Chain A
């Protein structure tokens, strides 16, 4: 192994370097707030470097593999994290966080490294290490507001339930290892058979992944953790962490478990219906916007399964495309909630009454994000959803598509409730006008551009499709 082949791991190396620089800066500077800008710059560099072409190849005897597809996935995650860093800056400048600014960035970056390793893994051991690296720091992040009971509770809930789900997943993997004798993806995919024991192993593995993506019935932690955790951590959980888990699930299903595709297609069929419907029905009644977005993101995960279920290039392309759109869209929505929460501390739907009259720009962005989540043209969410539905229809699952579109209509109802609060309802004391900081505004602007451009600019879809794989 020579130095050049190490460059295959460029994304992970860049992130590690960024992490180390922040660690050193933390030790050597008194002014902790400079770390905020430093982190943004480092993330920007990492994102840009990620786009330079990289050869395909494997490392560590196949434990680590990289292809154009994985690079694309990592780039998507990097962009999302960059936007998040921009939106976070103002929140983290608040005095109560002054002594733990760098912790936030360190933890986020280490989870991102974990996700990158998961995406690139060619062996379940590597996969599992990546998974743990991506999970444990998030639990610490959820408890970032540790002075608040609710945040500490969120941290404990997340760590306990993810430990349980990791345990289940490990058990499934150990069953597979015991019968196949290898954890390498290529060897497993050839040796995998449709026997009860293998199916059991697969189901346990799937349950662990279901927890990460918060599919029903593994979703119970989601709303409590999102509500308790600081809003930007919820945002990270719902966008980047979920996006990464979706990528990995898609890769593993397509490459390792393709021999039992009919089986997991049935499984996904049922889970997609459950996830969409239950996520939607619970979202209908939420008054707290963080809980609301939690259930909305559960429902969105159900829609994503419609792309995975197809198992073709088209399916994977639509999943990647949707996640890219979802990152911009959901970060837009979370960004507005976060900006308002930082400025006023308000997080309930009623507080948004009459927001348009005082803060028109934020309201417009929020409305566009919500329309994009609901899948209304001409914003990007429409294209993302349409292609997901088209992928499911491609496999002939018309009734699943039908249930999904009905669910999309239900979801429109609760998205419109917020639009109604902002534009139609009147309020005695609406949230007063405020001006967000420069970084927040750049972050929100990037979301806005993404929400418009990604859908209408078709070459992006073709680009994603070029690197997608099918079974």
Chain B
């Protein structure tokens, strides 16, 4: 077995381990151990990757292995990583582990909860290591379907409605994606080769233009729905608000990144000509996502809804940057995915912890929490500052790079959109600072809050790891952006060639 497949095998083994556990303590212990191994593997992968690159290995995909699966259809199980997928795997490893710690106290059907959660994570890991459209699509669906149970069973509020809405919208998106993938597959012999699902092979082929025009929107929207592309973002606020803490973390932190990752790895990389041709439509839509999401967040009263809308805005920025199609913007997009993944996970974790104590998420009922739970409150402030792009934290690095890249386009259309999107930073500051001021400072609104305790050890682990990562990227972003930068060359070349023609 190759090293990358371990990322799917470890979760499966963990699930098997959980099946045999007797009580909640054993269950969460097994989950934590399994996911810690996963994180260690992810960190090891980063070092192995950097070592390989340093040793001069210039292949596009490293650690690549291919196993024949359905031979007559040329479906293979192909794994391989470049700097981008390594970064995403690291992100997933961190968020999943912290998610497990954030759900330390799940006492209703704990076994089923952790099995679904880890099953979901195996889908995400599988998605990021896949280089074959079929397996990629398979893992995508594996990552989506446990959501239904996770939100439906362990959620809060209108959970059944939200779970159904989320599942159907994401599955509807995967319907578009399926047609797109089949379209790419049956046109992948345009260069005279055989039909293939292998992404790296298809990238060498120029797919006929009319096929590209048909399948690019399908693939891009298919992934875009998961990345909260306006007007297909409506699953996101309801879904996030109703989901249990760890699921919100995983969903906003990692699952939405599947959308952005897929959009450039599949839609733009394989169908570059159509991408160049149609980018303007989606640029307008993503700009709307960015601004609309930020405005939406201002008017919300529920902490989770605020962050859900803020995620729409930030994930919209990812798609926006991808569509700018130059190296700096793409680099910023990847950084934004990672940075947003970490800080949203932190946000949702903290909201879950606050909600677990105060039993409310309404900002007008909260107040003065800084006096009662200083650790959680300080963490909340850090998450907020990262979210609004304070230098020194990861959000600044990402957004700065995106707008720097986006502004490289000399024409009016791109500049206006860039300025519009950049305006969202101001709006972000409004809703973040307003919430921080309301719930953390000021008088304590409820006597009962005085008795509340601060973070427990497992909560400190969860938030601590995330804050460490956020600050780490903010202070030393270069190794990460270098790692991403090298891997962007094939995609950028692909897109540049499309312009020349």
Residues of chain A whose beta carbon lies under 8 Å from any beta carbon of chain B: 314, 317, 371, 376-378, 382, 386-387, 389-390, 393-394, 396, 398, 401-402, 405-406, 408-409, 412-413, 416, 419-420, 423-424, 458, 461-462, 465
Decide if A458 touches B69 in the complex (CB within 8 Å).
yes
- Pair B175/A458 contact, Cβ less than 8 Å: no
Report which residue of A386, A419, A461 has the largest number of chain B beta carbons within 10 angstroms of its beta carbon.
A386
Chain B interface extent, by class: 20 to 34
| Measured CA separation A386–B136 after assembly (Å) | 13
Contact A402–B179 (Cβ < 8 Å): yes
The reply to whether A376 and B145 form a contact with Cβ atoms under 8 Å apart is yes
Instruction: Please pick, from A398, A412, A462, the residue contacting B167 in the complex, using a CB distance under 8 A.
Output: A412
CB distance from B89 to the nearest CB of A (A): 20
Chain B residues closer than 8 Å to A386, beta-carbon distance: 134, 178
Q: B149 contacts which chain A residues (CB < 8 A)?
A: 419, 423
Chain B 121-144 interface mask (CB, 8 Å, partner A; 1/0): 000000000000010001101100
A390-B73, A398-B214 given as contacts; is B145 within 8 A of A371 (CB)? yes
Q: Is the CB of A420 within 8 A of B182?
A: no
Instruction: Flag if A413 contacts B164 (CB, 8 Å).
Output: yes
B274-303 at interface with A (beta carbon < 8 Å): none
**Smallest distance from the beta carbon of B182 to chain A beta carbons, Å?**
4
| Contact flag A409-B171 (CB < 8 Å), given A390-B185, A424-B160 | yes
**Number of residue pairs spanning A and B whose beta carbons lie under 8 angstroms apart:** 81
Tell yes or no: B72 within 8 A of A by CB: yes
Does B455 sit at the interface, judged by CB under 8 A?
no
With A376-B145, A394-B186, A398-B182 as known contacts, state yes or no: A382 contacts B138, CB within 8 Å.
yes
- Given A393-B182, A413-B164, A458-B69: A424 in contact with B152 (beta carbons within 8 A): yes
B309 close to chain A: CB less than 8 A: no
**Could you jot down 9 A-B contacts, CB within 8 Å?**
A376-B141, A377-B141, A377-B142, A393-B179, A398-B183, A398-B214, A405-B178, A420-B152, A424-B159
Across the interface, which residues of B come within 8 angstroms of A458, CB to CB? 69-71, 75
Q: A423 touching B172 by the CB < 8 A rule?
A: no
B141: chain A residues at CB < 8 Å are 376-377, 382
A-side contacts of B73, CB under 8 Å: 314, 387, 390
Closest CB-CB distance, A365 to chain B, in whole Å? 15
Task: Determine chain B's interface SS by DSSP, over half rule.
Answer: helix
Given contacts A378-B138, A398-B214, A409-B175, 16 further A-B contacts (CB under 8 A): A376-B141, A389-B178, A393-B179, A393-B185, A398-B179, A402-B179, A413-B164, A413-B168, A419-B149, A420-B152, A420-B160, A424-B159, A424-B160, A458-B71, A461-B70, A462-B71
Residue B498, interface by CB 8 Å: no
Q: Which residue of A is nearest B123, CB measured?
A: A377
Q: Quick one: given A378-B142, A409-B168, are A462 and B179 in contact (CB under 8 Å)?
A: no
Contacts A387-B73, A458-B70, A462-B72 hold; do A405 and B179 have CB atoms under 8 A apart? yes
0/1 string, B145-171, CB within 8 A of A gives 1: 100110011000001100110011001
Contacting pair B71 A409 (CB below 8 A)? no
| Distance of A232 from chain B, by nearest CB (Å) | 30
A423 proximity list for chain B (CB < 8 A): 149, 152-153
CB-CB under 8 A for A402 and B160, given A377-B138, A423-B149: no
Residues of B within 8 A of A424 (CB): 152-153, 159-160, 163
Write out the residue numbers on chain A whose beta carbons fall within 8 Å of the beta carbon of B145: 371, 376
- 0/1 string, B201-244, CB within 8 A of A gives 1: 00000000000001000000000000000000000000000000
Least CB distance from A431 to B in Å reads: 18
A408 touches which of B139, B164, B175 (Cβ 8 Å): B175
**Which A residues lie within 8 Å of B168 (CB)?**
409, 412-413
Top 6 A-B pairs ranked by shortest CB distance?
A405-B175, A393-B182, A424-B152, A377-B138, A409-B172, A458-B70
Q: What's the Cα separation between A406 and B173 when bound, in Å?
A: 9
A398 surroundings in chain B (CB, below 8 A): 179, 182-183, 214
Given contacts A376-B145, A424-B160, A462-B72, contact A406 B175 (CB under 8 A): yes
Chain B neighbourhood of A409, CB < 8 A? 168, 171-172, 175
Q: A17 to nearest B CB, angstroms?
A: 37
Which chain A residue has the least Cβ–Cβ distance from B68? A458
Residue with the greatest number of chain B CB neighbours at <10 A, chosen from A317, A389, A408, A424: A424
Chain B min CB distance to A106 (Å): 41
Q: Which residues of A contact B152 (CB under 8 A)?
A: 420, 423-424
Query: Would you call B153 and A402 a contact (CB within 8 A)?
Result: no
Inside 8 A of A416's CB, which chain B residues have their CB? 148, 164, 167
Q: How far is the CA of A393 from the CA of B168 in the complex (A)?
A: 23
